């Protein structure tokens, strides 16, 4: 997105070519950017400058990408044209009012299905208005949507978040030349302001390896006897490492080595060894730093000694699926004792892998599918996923990578 808004050429190395990213690239082409992929895997973008996007001639189909959809809705809301959005069945069920409400205050109009769901028509503001907005939920997507709208809005747009969320947007905006000011608030929250209508300059970006994707081989190695793996170049931005902190508290032999900064982001190699895990209470304030990792944490918890309580995780109910409900149902079917309410999941581990041997409904949710496949590596009987096609959303090559580490994942016809 930022490359499409910059002046000149940007080169992106190490891009995760998942379906979400490819859908976003297609959307930026439809908005006027020139984007190519070299045979060496490097992506090149020639942007249109802030204010230079054009009205797309067709509907933007964002597939399964909630991040792509919400951020792009913010981006186009400050342009005086109309943009239509849709997605797959999972994305069409997800709430969008959390972004459309603040963006409406900036002058954009939104026409959606009931409860603010896609498909949606966004009519951008002819004269966008800067706002100061305090987020209602701890969501980097909401924050980023507003900041992206503020890019093409004169004046200063401010977002206040009471719980700090991942800050990749702010770091990268600064790297491309925008003026972003961040104030740390009492209690750990942040006040982030962006000065509108900057000139962003194309740059070379080296993308760190994704900690959310790394979570699956990490947990697999912890649960597998005599395992020892190293995952190089993983992003360890402190606002993204909640899972690693939690696993260490549970007794994981997990070490960061060769820590460094690449393209403004903290990076390290992760060394992981088999470990005996013990259940803990995961505090609610940690949720923003690991919101996508709770499904795979639940798998680790199912194999740990004692109860693991995941507190303040109601946001998981409005992800690609109701992840709290999906993990509770799946683990219960595997013989794990579960307690669940609107904001909490408690997994009672027996100190050894559960029996398994069941079929899991993934509900078009890539993280549910991958989590139960990891459980199948150590469960007493094989696990089956009814539909693993969603895995390519975020982790193309997952099966091949895991099988290369010793898993035995078979794909049915």
Q: Could you read off the pLDDT of 46-104 as tens digits, one per residue?
A: 999 999 999 999 999 999 999 999 999 999 999 999 999 999 999 999 889 999 999 99
Per residue in 179-196, pLDDT (tens digit) is 999 999 988 899 999 999
**12 backbone dihedrals φ, ψ, rounded to 5°:** -120, 120
Mean local confidence (pLDDT), 103-116: 95
- Does pLDDT of 198 surpass 90? yes
Res. 115 pLDDT band, cuts 50 70 90:
confident
- Does pLDDT of 274 surpass 60? yes
Hey, which residues does 121 pair with through a beta bridge? Answer: 84, 111
313 and 324 Cβ atoms separated by less than 8 Å: yes
Other beta carbons within 10 angstroms of residue 260's beta carbon come to 11
Q: What percent of the chain has pLDDT over 90?
A: 91
The whole-number pLDDT of residue 103 equals 98
What torsion do the CA atoms of 116, 86, 53, 106 make, to the nearest 10 degrees? 0
398 or 95, greater pLDDT: 398
Mean local confidence (pLDDT), 14-37: 95
CA–CA separation, 286 and 320 (whole Å): 20
Q: Mean pLDDT over all residues of the chain? A: 95
Mean local confidence (pLDDT), 238-247: 95
- Does pLDDT of 178 surpass 60? yes
Show the CA angle centred on residue 90, arms to residues 85 and 95, nearest 5°.
65
180 and 169 Cβ atoms separated by less than 8 Å: no
Show the tokens assigned to 282. Answer: 């995961």
- Does pLDDT of 252 surpass 60? yes
Pairing of strands 60-61, 82-86: parallel
Other beta carbons within 10 angstroms of residue 240's beta carbon come to 27
Dmax over CA atoms of the chain, in Å, equals 62
The whole-number pLDDT of residue 318 equals 77
Eight-state DSSP code of residue 223: H
Q: Write down the residue that tokens 């030349």 correspond to.
A: 177
Among residues 68, 79, 25, 19, which one has the least CA distance to residue 47? 25
Domains 2-206 and 211-404 fall in the same CATH topology: yes
Among residues 82, 122, 77, which one has the least CA distance to residue 103? 77
Show the tokens assigned to 242. Answer: 């909640």
Hey, which residues does 349 pair with through a beta bridge? Answer: 306
Q: What percent of the chain has pLDDT over 70?
A: 100
Res. 413 pLDDT band, cuts 50 70 90:
low
Show the CA angle centred on residue 70, arms to residues 69 and 75, nearest 5°.
95
What residues contact 404, with CB distance under 8 A and at least 6 apart?
A: none
- In the chain, what is the straight-line distance between the N-terminal and C-terminal CA atoms, in Å? 36
pTM: 0.85
Per residue in 301-311, pLDDT (tens digit) is 999 999 999 99
What residues contact 173, with CB distance under 8 A and at least 6 apart?
A: 2, 147, 151, 180, 194, 200
Show the tokens assigned to 197. Answer: 């209508």
CA–CA separation, 262 and 206 (whole Å): 7
Mean local confidence (pLDDT), 254-264: 89
CATH class of the structural domain 211-404: alpha beta
Sign of CA dihedral 66, 148, 15, 238: negative
The whole-number pLDDT of residue 188 equals 84
Active-site positions? Answer: 292
Mean local confidence (pLDDT), 318-333: 91
User: What is the residue extent of each domain of the chain?
Assistant: 2-206, 211-404
- Does pLDDT of 112 surpass 80? yes
Sign of CA dihedral 78, 156, 240, 162: negative
The whole-number pLDDT of residue 5 equals 96
Helix ranges restricted to H, 88-139: 97-105
Choose the weakest-confidence range: 14-18, 141-145, 223-227, 347-351: 14-18
- Does pLDDT of 264 surpass 90? no
What residues contact 198, with CB distance under 8 A and at least 6 apart?
A: 50, 151, 177, 178, 179
CATH topology of domain 2-206: UDP-n-acetylglucosamine1-carboxyvinyl-transferase; Chain (3.65.10)
- Does pLDDT of 269 surpass 60? yes
H or E segment to which residue 205 belongs: strand 204-206
Residue 340, SS3 per DSSP: strand
- Does pLDDT of 262 surpass 90? no
């Amino acid at each position: 997105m930022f490359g499409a808004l910059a002046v000149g050429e940007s080169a992106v190395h190490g891009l995760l070519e998942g379906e979400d990213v490819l859908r976003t690239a297609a959307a930026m082409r439809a908005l006027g950017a020139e984007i190519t992929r070299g045979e060496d895997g490097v992506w090149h973008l020639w942007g249109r400058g802030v204010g230079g996007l054009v009205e797309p001639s067709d509907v933007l189909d964002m597939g399964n990408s909630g991040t792509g959809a919400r951020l792009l809705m913010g981006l186009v809301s400050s342009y005086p044209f109309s943009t239509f959005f849709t997605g797959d069945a999972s994305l069409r069920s997800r709430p969008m009012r959390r972004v459309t409400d603040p963006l409406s205050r900036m002058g954009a109009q939104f026409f959606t299905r009931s409860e603010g769901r896609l498909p949606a028509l966004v009519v951008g503001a002819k004269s966008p208005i800067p706002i100061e907005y305090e987020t209602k939920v701890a969501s980097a997507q909401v924050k980023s949507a507003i900041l992206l709208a503020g890019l093409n809005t004169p004046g200063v747009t401010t977002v206040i978040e009471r719980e700090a969320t991942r800050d990749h947007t702010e770091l990268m905006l600064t790297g491309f030349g925008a003026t972003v000011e961040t104030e740390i608030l009492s209690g750990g929250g942040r006040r982030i302001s962006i000065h509108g209508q900057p000139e962003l300059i194309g740059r070379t970006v080296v993308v760190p390896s994704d900690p959310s994707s790394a979570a699956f081989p990490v947990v697999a190695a912890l649960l597998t006897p005599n395992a020892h793996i190293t995952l190089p170049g993983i992003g360890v931005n402190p606002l993204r490492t909640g899972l690693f902190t939690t696993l260490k508290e549970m007794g994981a032999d997990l070490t960061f080595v060769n820590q460094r900064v690449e393209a403004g982001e903290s990076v390290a190699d992760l060394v992981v060894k088999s470990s005996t895990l013990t259940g803990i209470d995961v505090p609610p304030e940690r949720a923003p730093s690991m919101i996508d990792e709770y499904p795979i944490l639940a798998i680790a918890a199912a194999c740990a000694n004692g109860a693991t309580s995941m507190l303040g995780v109601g946001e998981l109910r409005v992800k690609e699926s109701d992840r709290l409900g999906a993990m509770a149902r799946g683990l219960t079917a595997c013989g794990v004792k579960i307690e669940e309410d609107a904001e909490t999941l408690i997994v009672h581990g027996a100190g050894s892998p559960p029996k398994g041997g069941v079929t899991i409904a993934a509900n078009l949710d890539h993280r549910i599918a991958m989590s139960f496949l990891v459980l199948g590596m150590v469960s007493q009987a094989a696990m089956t996923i009814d539909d693993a096609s969603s895995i390519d959303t975020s982790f193309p090559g997952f099966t091949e990578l895991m099988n290369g580490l010793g898993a035995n994942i078979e794909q049915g016809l």
